[in-house]
């Protein structure tokens, strides 16, 4: 199919299959090995037992749209109308698909941070849009505002942001976001911002302590920003695939215009339980963040201890290491050899960069990503396996 041609298959499926086939410790695909709160699991079971089993309304169960509205108000002081300004989607993935299919005309340019989450590439492609990547460069992965300005043209329709950022762990600062906002306002652009890791940011050395700032909170941005998030990361329920899009009615309406033909409506009982999670377990994501910060340090210290330069992420549950010192020029080859060499699976970061580049020009060719949303004993085991193995090229 022309629309799908040139979109590489998702690396996550391949790497998780490799982990299963080899029995390796899977630090590849990002999913926790401990489920979210028991009360939320119970709420889902109750919702099923008490009859929330037929189609929910297309835009989402009212209870969840109202809970998302309260969540945005409580955390960020943003108030949104649950009826017209919030839509429920099947994970953030469907919100991304809906936003791109609903807002990008063939030939429109989308400026996005590179490395980028792989579904952005696929959905820009399916929408007929044109990618304009702005590269976050190792080892700090900060946003280069001049590069952002240079990427914008009179064909640009949208800036697609992701903060906290997968795979680098960068949390954009209020200053960086302000600069993005200025560009968006100056060129009258829509900003779509993927904030699925909104609650997973770690204390840092800068003044804002790596706190997540939604760009929709900045002056002049509410009316041009579509914010996407989901339950999966904040509540360790990645398999539930309950997400949402929040923004002015015309942007949310565009997502729904596409969503009605993608899934029509998302899983009804899980929406009820997701509403319960947001309202009744508001402290849970903070506890997850605190425990993740310890696990981040365990993994990053362990990786550095075996000689791998590793960037400490400010948010998300991913850390990246530079493997060039081991003699590897190609992270893909390293990650394919790793299960056999060490019994560990990681994700090559090069696949999150523009596929049109040759390997030598891929800024992520020597980077690999490790997920630390795993139990401490699993992380310690992975580090031990890596320490014992011969990792040289």
Binding site for ligand PMP (CB under 6 A): 91-93, 117, 162, 166, 194, 196, 230, 232, 238, 241, 243
Say which entry of ligand GLN, ligand PMP, none residue 46 contacts (CB below 5 to 8 A, set by partner kind).
none
Instruction: Give the three-class secondary structure for 244.
Output: strand
List b or e across 119-157, with b for residues whose CB sees 16 or more CB atoms inside 10 angstroms.
bbbbbbbbbebbbbbbbbebeebebebeebeebbeeebb
Give Cβ neighbours of residue 182 (< 8 Å, ≥ 6 apart): none
**By the rule CB under 6 A, 7 interacts with ligand GLN:** no
Name the DSSP letter for residue 235.
T
Write down the least CB distance from residue 130 to ligand GLN, Å: 23
Write down the least CB distance from residue 305 to ligand PMP, Å: 27
Write down the least CB distance from residue 227 to ligand PMP, Å: 12
Nearer to ligand GLN, 12 or 66 (CB): 12
Write down the least CB distance from residue 318 to ligand GLN, Å: 7
Q: Is 101 exposed, middle or buried (0-12, 13-18, 19+ CB in 10 A)?
A: buried
Out of 18, 19, 27, 29, the residue judged to bind ligand GLN by CB under 6 A: 29
**Residue-by-residue DSSP string for 128-188:** T-EEEEEEPPTTT----HHHHHHH--TTEEEEEEESSPTTT-----HHHHHHHHHHHHHTT
Nearest Cα residue to 351 out of 82, 6, 3, 10? 10
- Measured CA angle at 134 (ends 27, 106), to 5 deg: 100
* Structure tokens belonging to residue 330: 């190609």
Q: Are 150 and 143 in contact (CB under 8 A)?
A: no
Out of 26, 90, 162, 166, the residue judged to bind ligand GLN by CB under 6 A: 166
Write down the least CB distance from residue 195 to ligand GLN, Å: 13
- Count of residues binding ligand GLN (CB under 6 A)? 5
**By the rule CB under 6 A, 30 interacts with ligand GLN:** yes
Out of 7, 12, 46, 149, the residue judged to bind ligand GLN by CB under 6 A: 12
Distance from C-alpha of 335 to C-alpha of 311, rounded to nearest angstrom: 18
Residues in the chain: 393
Say which entry of ligand GLN, ligand PMP, none residue 29 contacts (CB below 5 to 8 A, set by partner kind).
ligand GLN
Write down the least CB distance from residue 325 to ligand PMP, Å: 27
Nearer to ligand GLN, 171 or 181 (CB): 171
Nearer to ligand PMP, 210 or 328 (CB): 210
Nearer to ligand PMP, 135 or 383 (CB): 135
Nearer to ligand GLN, 69 or 314 (CB): 314
Q: Are 100 and 126 in contact (CB under 8 A)?
A: yes
Instruction: Give the three-class secondary structure for 48.
Output: helix
Provide the phi-psi class of 91: left if phi over 0, else alpha when psi is between -120 and 50, else beta.
left
Which residue's CB comes closest to ligand GLN? 30
Nearer to ligand PMP, 89 or 173 (CB): 89
Nearer to ligand GLN, 29 or 168 (CB): 29
Nearer to ligand GLN, 98 or 248 (CB): 98
Nearest Cα residue to 172 out of 197, 147, 146? 197
Binding site for ligand GLN (CB under 6 A): 10, 12, 29-30, 166
């Amino acid at each position: 199919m022309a629309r799908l041609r040139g979109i590489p298959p998702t690396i996550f499926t391949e790497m998780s299959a490799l982990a299963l086939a080899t029995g390796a410790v899977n630090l590849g695909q990002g999913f926790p090995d401990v489920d979210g709160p028991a009360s939320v699991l119970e709420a889902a079971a109750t919702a099923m037992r008490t009859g929330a089993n037929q189609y929910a309304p297309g835009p989402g169960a009212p209870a969840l749209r109202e809970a998302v509205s309260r969540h945005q108000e409580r955390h960020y002081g943003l108030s949104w109308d649950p009826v017209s300004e919030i839509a429920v989607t099947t994970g953030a993935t469907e919100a991304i698909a809906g936003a791109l299919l609903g807002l990008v005309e063939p030939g429109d340019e989308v400026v996005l941070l590179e490395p980028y989450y792989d579904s952005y590439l696929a959905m820009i492609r399916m929408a007929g849009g044109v990618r304009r990547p702005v590269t976050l460069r190792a080892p700090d992965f900060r946003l280069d505002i001049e590069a952002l300005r240079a990427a914008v043209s009179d064909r640009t329709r949208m800036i697609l942001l992701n903060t906290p950022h997968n795979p680098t762990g960068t949390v954009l600062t209020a200053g960086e976001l302000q600069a993005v906002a200025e560009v968006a306002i100056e060129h009258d652009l829509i900003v779509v911002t993927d904030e699925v890791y909104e609650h997973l940011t770690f204390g840092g050395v800068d003044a804002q302590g790596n706190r997540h700032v939604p760009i929709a909170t900045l002056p002049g941005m509410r009316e041009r920003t579509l914010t996407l998030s989901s339950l999966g990361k904040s509540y360790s329920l990645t398999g539930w695939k309950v997400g949402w899009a929040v923004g002015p009615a015309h942007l949310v309406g565009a997502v729904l215009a596409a969503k009605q033909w993608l899934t029509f409506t998302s899983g009804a009982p899980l929406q009820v339980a997701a509403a319960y999670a947001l309202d009744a377990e508001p402290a849970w994501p903070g506890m997850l963040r605190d425990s993740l910060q310890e696990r981040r340090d365990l993994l990053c210290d362990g990786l550095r201890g075996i000689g791998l330069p590793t960037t400490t992420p400010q948010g998300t549950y991913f850390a990246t290491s530079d493997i060039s010192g081991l003699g590897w020029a190609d992270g893909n080859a390293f990650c394919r050899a790793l299960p056999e060499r060490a019994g560990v699976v990681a994700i090559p970061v090069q696949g999150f960069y523009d596929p049109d580049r040759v390997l030598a020009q891929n800024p992520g060719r020597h980077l690999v990503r490790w997920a630390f949303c795993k139990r401490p004993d699993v992380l310690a085991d992975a580090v031990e396996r890596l320490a014992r193995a011969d990792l040289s090229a």
